[in-house]
Structure 1
């Protein structure tokens, strides 16, 4: 616009000079006034054009927010899992966000977890994607959706708003950083633990397990001894109590014993590659221990018995299981229990690496409103806002370290454990833990299904552990994951 003004002035001056030389000063004065009026009109139009446009929440990496171009209202979609415990928080979060961002409307879309993979695949292929979602809320995970080129690079946004995300530890942020680019903002960080029924341990005269992950006396042999003393079998199935439920996925069991089904590079490249199932003796040790709990020691239910005791609800919640290895969602899943319960480390083994579940917020690469979506993600991650209310509503372990004190106090009230013990057991899980395999290896739902087909046969005593591992190795090698 400034260029237009400059040309207009030059035009007037030039023409004025020429006219002076041709028709004389008197007539020039009249014509000159006409040119000046034209100049004023040009300048007025130029200034109107310069001031009449509004951006859509700032350029890429900006933090403007506020809505669409020219004040137009923008709608973004937030996809979440169907969860009765979350819906009120989700609705309130949208209400609070829209109140602060009147030009951004958030449409909530809920999908059952088992349907998310299929629905998302369809959405991605048709480019009708949700704007904000979590890549780990499906049965696949982050690596699968990054491999589909479905996730927006958030690096410029994070760099621009680094201060607002400073409470999230770097090691958690790094989980979703690939080749220097950030694709997700952690919302929660959950470890793995052993949960136990305090009342049943009291009845059996057993001390509560420690909360220190470096206490090597709390090992798998000690846990087995506890499980035997806690198992009750009166001959009536309805009265039976099992000492220990250890139903973790096969590869995650190997991590608890220092093993692994896959090579280290599988977790960085996202490509499974050649499995290492038969290369590490700790793999067989882990799977054998789990099978022995069921078949030899009979302190854990076989698949059929587990289905039966689960008919009445979660078997730990109904008192049918004295101890259970589970993810940290047990902190909120077990809140309604009618008995006292506590939390301990995964029993010690050399090289033990308990599983972490760090869920991120993601933005779709094909989002039509990435700036507005980022404003919403920032709002979700705010430790003084939605992130805090999320923790309060769900008891989920927060990703933002500034909320950990409040979380520990909340868990102390629920479990009866001291705040220090709650902190210690949680911190140890992250000190030794590693992110879940299904989050980091592409198309893991197919890999998991292949493994589980054989694991069921092992746990039912239809195949030996050695035979089963050989079969799993063969079947994984035959997979076509392209």
Structure 2
């Protein structure tokens, strides 16, 4: 009898535990990033679960290419993650497909939720129908410089007063044949120029040019002002030879600063952890000023919720937590991006990061930042423009011809996505 009673009690406990487990709502959050970034997001999910014991969050992380490939398959197959990361320029494409949940009803019910979030970071997610996404973090582009290389060359560090001419002069001084074999082995600067974000977008804006008008279906980078900006980059690269060609850089790696062959570079906060781990003695300053003022670009990664999620309320609660001060404080630990809440960027969680640079420079850059263009067909347009612009950095192709081709291909992409 005792055996039966004990067994029966054990069965009841097992059934009760199983019932409790099955009663728990499970949602999936999918994002791109490194395994280390995934670990931090798992910590954020665990902190959320502690406050919401009835909701379990499964975190899935993949590299950039693998993430988008898998996401397209999942959405097409009707099995998307409940919550997934979104790059702001790609947001209009996904929103226009009807696969994202409109978050506006949740925001209308809790309007104070957005208080304290940098308004600029919200702009990309607004539509006439409401907001179908929220920013998760943001990036601004600043000028990084290697203090050791400046010291060795006897060149003064960059300042917040620098113009683009100051940058050009310093880059020329810092371009050196260190071993005297007749071949340059240190360049004054490097930049990724396929995408607009790190360099050519801010340069065009700071020379008074514009980039694109999606509503009018026009690519605008062939205006006289934009042309002046592109000519500046071309002159630093091809005339001064102060930046390595892609072939030269490939001998050392993909990032000139990280490889130790460039004294300056343009990037966002996403580079800070890797630069810090490499032991580079770096400083950061605002982008140099152009004829039309100082400009940089701000972009964000965001959260969206699947329109077909069976658990929209649970998904919303996770998004709400991840964008809260508590969630954003945990996010600051990753060090890859800038939290969207001013209360966190002004706290030690962000400003006191291990990397010994002035993290405030990235936040202050919002004062002179333009939002990265975001529109339907962005991916196709940026690929067409980037491919054509690559000709501009070739000795044999006139800049005017490369820009004309970029405009033609860009306009074709805009027309195809109207």
**TM-score by shorter chain over 0.5:** yes
- Say whether the 8 Å CA contact 2:382–2:410 is kept in structure 1: no
Shift of 1:132: 0.7
Corresponding residue for 2:234? 291
Give the Cα–Cα distance (whole angstroms) in 2 for the partners of residues 114 and 462 of structure 1. 32
Corresponding residue for 2:16? none
1:169 aligns to 2:118 (yes or no): yes
Corresponding residue for 2:52? 101
Shift of 1:276: 2.2
Corresponding residue for 1:388? 329
1:355 aligns to 2:297 (yes or no): yes
* Secondary structure of 2:59 counterpart: strand
* Secondary structure of 1:469 counterpart: helix
Distance 1:86 1:342, change over 3 A: same
1:111 aligns to 2:62 (yes or no): yes
Match among 84, 87, 95 for residue 136 of structure 1? 87
Corresponding residue for 1:226? 170
Corresponding residue for 2:146? 197
* Secondary structure of 1:105 counterpart: strand
Corresponding residue for 2:6? none
* Secondary structure of 1:329 counterpart: helix
Corresponding residue for 1:332? 273
Corresponding residue for 1:282? 225
Distance 1:441 1:302, change over 3 A: same
* Secondary structure of 1:470 counterpart: helix
Give the Cα–Cα distance (whole angstroms) in 2 for the partners of residues 256 and 123 of structure 1. 41
* Secondary structure of 2:272 counterpart: helix
Distance 1:237 1:407, change over 3 A: farther
1:90 aligns to 2:41 (yes or no): yes
Count of matched residue positions in the alignment of Structure 1 and Structure 2: 390
Shift of 1:207: 2.3
Distance 1:173 1:82, change over 3 A: closer
Rg (Cα) greater in structure: 1
Q: What are the ranges of 5 or more consecutive residues in structure 2 without an aligned counterpart?
A: 1-18
Corresponding residue for 2:252? 309
* Secondary structure of 1:394 counterpart: coil
Shift of 1:294: 2.0
Corresponding residue for 1:430? 366
Corresponding residue for 2:108? 159
Per-residue displacement from partner, 1:72-114 (whole Å, max 9, x unpaired)? 2222111111412302212222322233323222222223211
After superposition, residues 382-421 of structure 1 pair within 5 angstroms as 382-384=324-326, 386-394=327-335, 396-405=337-346, 406-407=348-349, 409-411=351-353, 414-415=355-356, 417=358
Per-residue displacement from partner, 1:198-230 (whole Å, max 9, x unpaired)? 11112222222224xxx3xx1111000110111
Give the Cα–Cα distance (whole angstroms) in 2 for the partners of residues 407 and 341 of structure 1. 20
- Say whether the 8 Å CA contact 2:269–2:335 is kept in structure 1: no
- Say whether the 8 Å CA contact 1:154–1:183 is kept in structure 2: yes
TM-score, normalised relative to structure 2: 0.85
Give the Cα–Cα distance (whole angstroms) in 2 for the partners of residues 123 and 397 of structure 1. 29
Give the Cα–Cα distance (whole angstroms) in 2 for the partners of residues 451 and 433 of structure 1. 22
Match among 242, 245, 254 for residue 204 of structure 2? 254
Give the Cα–Cα distance (whole angstroms) in 2 for the partners of residues 238 and 276 of structure 1. 38
Distance 1:377 1:416, change over 3 A: closer
Give the Cα–Cα distance (whole angstroms) in 1 for the partners of residues 377 and 62 of structure 2. 20
TM-score, normalised relative to structure 1: 0.74
Distance 1:317 1:236, change over 3 A: farther
Give the Cα–Cα distance (whole angstroms) in 2 for the partners of residues 404 and 291 of structure 1. 36
Give the Cα–Cα distance (whole angstroms) in 2 for the partners of residues 123 and 142 of structure 1. 17
- Say whether the 8 Å CA contact 1:86–1:394 is kept in structure 2: no
Shift of 1:189: 2.2
Distance 1:334 1:430, change over 3 A: same
Give the Cα–Cα distance (whole angstroms) in 2 for the partners of residues 224 and 201 of structure 1. 14
Give the Cα–Cα distance (whole angstroms) in 1 for the partners of residues 136 and 67 of structure 2. 19
Distance 1:445 1:308, change over 3 A: farther
Distance 1:256 1:304, change over 3 A: farther
1:242 aligns to 2:191 (yes or no): no
Give the Cα–Cα distance (whole angstroms) in 1 for the partners of residues 398 and 294 of structure 2. 24
Give the Cα–Cα distance (whole angstroms) in 2 for the partners of residues 70 and 111 of structure 1. 27
Corresponding residue for 2:14? none
Corresponding residue for 2:73? 122
Shift of 1:69: 12
Give the Cα–Cα distance (whole angstroms) in 2 for the partners of residues 408 and 207 of structure 1. 28
Distance 1:304 1:426, change over 3 A: same
* Secondary structure of 1:478 counterpart: helix
Q: Which stretches of structure 1, 4 residues or more, deviate above 6 A after TM superposition? A: 68-71
Give the Cα–Cα distance (whole angstroms) in 2 for the partners of residues 144 and 235 of structure 1. 52
Corresponding residue for 1:9? none
Shift of 1:295: 1.4
